[in-house]
């Protein structure tokens, strides 16, 4: 009857990603102005001034296709990370690289492993491929790497880990990670998604880059969307063995990273001061939020990232009530029936969230 009848069931079953509500939309719907978006883990300080300058400088070149190889960004980043340039693969956000990894290494019916209560993009990419997905629950809001290792079968082709995890902000530490890696064979792609790498400062946080080896199929993913403040431009990168990168490049769309993203990311890499400021503002914001939440008797999950999972109870209503007050947070779905996720904002935004939450809880007549 129609081409859509030919779409396989595994595609029909996909529930599309629901992004954080855009500021514009909230302000239109609620007739308010000046709302605070604490919903998508964006950098509250904005982009690096150096990135903005680079964009202005190159605008006249926008009629040209981007460099499909990301030459300048590749070499700048390779030098920064101290890895060979051929170990880097770039994406339209690291989200595209999640998709690219799945399209490159999995076929319909292939087995993949992930955790419930982790980043939803993994499940979406796997669902679109028709992969057979096994999921393991979180334990105390963090990855249960022991159970994940046990859940692996000889058919498992790929495992998705996020460190820090989104939406919980938790990390797994060196001993569990090393033990896990020892139990994974080279025919399983381990994706270590480190979108919040720059914020993690626990002494036992394992930088997955240090664990790349010839006989390991490890893909580290990072992004310019979070600490680097360039979410709107869409640029992320993967680090892996050159053979892994080479096959991903065979599947990759040739101009997947736009020119503006390449100019801005290359310049942002050079702005250590902005990055440091961003990390510092986040550290202070997290401390402030957690102290104030505790003082109000509200529970939260210790975070190593730029957001925090807060146990407000009744997240659908709290979300809605916060929206009315111009504060946009993120409900995080059925895995977390009592929590909302709140991005750490500027000091003013954090205060605004706390004030609005107090107001809502006072309205409940509860003690908080
Ligand atoms: C935000 C996020 C990403 C990716 O974002 P991009 O903007 O596509 O680079 C990837 N993984 C996790 C866990 C994230 O939270």
Which atom of ligand 1 lies at the shortest distance from residue 92's CA?
A: 8
Q: Ligand 1 centre from 144 Cα, in Å?
A: 21
| Residue nearest ligand 1's atom 10 by CA | 195
Average pLDDT along the chain: 96
Is the model's pLDDT at 364 over the cut of 90?
Answer: no
- What's CA 138's distance to the chain center, in Å? 17
Is the CB of residue 167 below 6 angstroms from any atom belonging to ligand 1? no
107 φ/ψ angles, rounded to the nearest 5 degrees: -120, 160
How far does residue 221's CA lie from ligand 1's centre (Å)?
A: 9
Q: Has this prediction a pTM greater than 0.85?
A: yes
pLDDT of 72 > 70? The answer is: yes
Average pLDDT over residues 103-108: 97
Stretch 208-231: mean pLDDT: 97
Q: Band of the pLDDT at 20, cuts 50, 70, 90?
A: confident
End-to-end alpha carbon distance in the chain: 56
Cβ of 306 closer than 6 Å to ligand 1, yes or no, is: no
pLDDT at residue 31 greater than cutoff 50? yes
Which residue, 158, 161, 145, is CA-closest to 109?
158
CATH of domain 63-268: 3.40.640.10
Mean pLDDT of 247-275: 98
CA of 359 to the centre of ligand 1 (A): 32
CB-ligand 1 contact for 225 (6 Å cutoff): yes
Q: What is the mean pLDDT of residues 253-275?
A: 98
Tell whether the model's pLDDT for residue 34 goes beyond 90: no
CA 30 – CA 359 distance, rounded (Å): 18
CATH class of residue range 3-46+273-363: alpha beta
Q: Write down the pLDDT at residue 17.
A: 85
CA 171 – CA 148 distance, rounded (Å): 15
Q: pLDDT band at 205, cuts 50/70/90? A: very high
Residue 170 CB-density burial (10 A; 0-12 exposed, 13-18 middle, 19+ buried): buried
Ligand 1 site, residue 166, Cβ cutoff 6 A:
yes
**Rounded distance from Cα 365 to ligand 1 centre (Å):** 38
CA-nearest residue for atom 2, ligand 1, is 195
Q: Is the CB of 92 under 6 A from ligand 1?
A: no
Task: In whole angstroms, give the CA distance from residue 11 to residue 209.
Answer: 34
Residues of the chain with CATH 3.90.1150.10: 3-46+273-363
Instruction: Tell me the pLDDT tens digit for each residue of 274-288.
Output: 999 999 999 999 999
* Alpha helices (runs of H) in the chain, residue ranges in sequence order: 9-12, 23-30, 49-58, 71-81, 94-105, 120-129, 145-151, 174-182, 242-251, 259-269, 272-295, 315-324, 347-363
- Does 43 contact ligand 1 (Cβ within 6 A)? no
Model pLDDT for residues 75-101, shown as the tens digit of each residue: 999 999 999 999 999 999 999 999 999
The boundaries of every CATH 3.40.640.10 domain in the chain are 63-268
Q: What percent of the chain has pLDDT over 70?
A: 99
Ranking 7-16, 235-244, 258-267 by mean pLDDT, the lowest is 7-16
Rg (CA), the chain: 21
Ligand 1 test: best mutation among 166, 219, 229, 258, most atoms within 8 Å of CB?
A: 166
pLDDT number for residue 21: 84
Determine the atom of ligand 1 nearest the C-alpha atom of 305: 15
């Amino acid at each position: 009857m129609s081409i859509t009848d030919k779409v396989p069931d595994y595609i029909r079953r996909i529930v599309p990603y629901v992004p954080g509500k855009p500021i514009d939309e909230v302000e239109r719907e609620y007739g308010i102005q000046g709302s605070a978006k604490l919903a998508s883990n964006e950098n509250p300080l904005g982009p690096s001034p150096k990135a903005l300058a680079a964009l202005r400088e190159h605008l006249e070149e926008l009629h040209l296709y981007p460099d499909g190889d990301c030459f300048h960004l590749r070499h700048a980043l390779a030098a920064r990370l101290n890895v060979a340039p051929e170990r880097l693969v770039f994406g339209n956000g690291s989200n595209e690289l999640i998709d690219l990894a799945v399209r490159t290494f999995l076929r319909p019916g292939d087995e993949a492993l992930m955790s419930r209560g982790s980043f939803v993009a993994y499940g979406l990419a796997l669902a679109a491929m028709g992969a057979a997905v096994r999921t393991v629950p979180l334990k105390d809001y963090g990855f249960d790497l022991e159970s994940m290792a046990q859940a692996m079968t000889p058919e498992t082709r790929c495992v998705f880990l996020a460190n820090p995890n989104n939406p919980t902000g938790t990390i797994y530490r060196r001993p569990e990670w090393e033990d896990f890696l020892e139990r994974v064979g080279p025919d399983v792609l381990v994706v270590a998604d480190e979108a919040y790498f720059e914020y993690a400062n626990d002494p036992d946080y394992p930088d997955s880059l240090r664990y790349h080896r010839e006989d390991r199929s490890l893909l580290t993913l990072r992004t310019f969307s979070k600490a680097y403040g360039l979410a709107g431009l869409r640029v992320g990168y993967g680090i892996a063995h050159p053979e892994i990168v080479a096959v991903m490049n065979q599947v990759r769309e040739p101009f997947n990273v736009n020119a503006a993203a390449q100019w801005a990311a290359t310049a942002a890499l050079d702005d250590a001061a902005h990055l440091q400021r961003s990390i510092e503002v986040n550290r202070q914001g997290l401390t402030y939020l957690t102290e104030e939440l505790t003082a109000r008797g509200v529970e939260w999950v210790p975070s190593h990232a730029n957001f925090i999972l807060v146990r407000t109870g009744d997240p659908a209503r709290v979300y809605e009530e916060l929206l009315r007050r111009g504060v946009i947070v993120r409900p995080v779905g059925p895995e977390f029936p009592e929590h909302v996720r709140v991005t750490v904002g500027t000091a003013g935004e954090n205060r605004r969230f706390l004030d609005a939450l107090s107001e809502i809880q006072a309205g409940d007549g509860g003690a908080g």
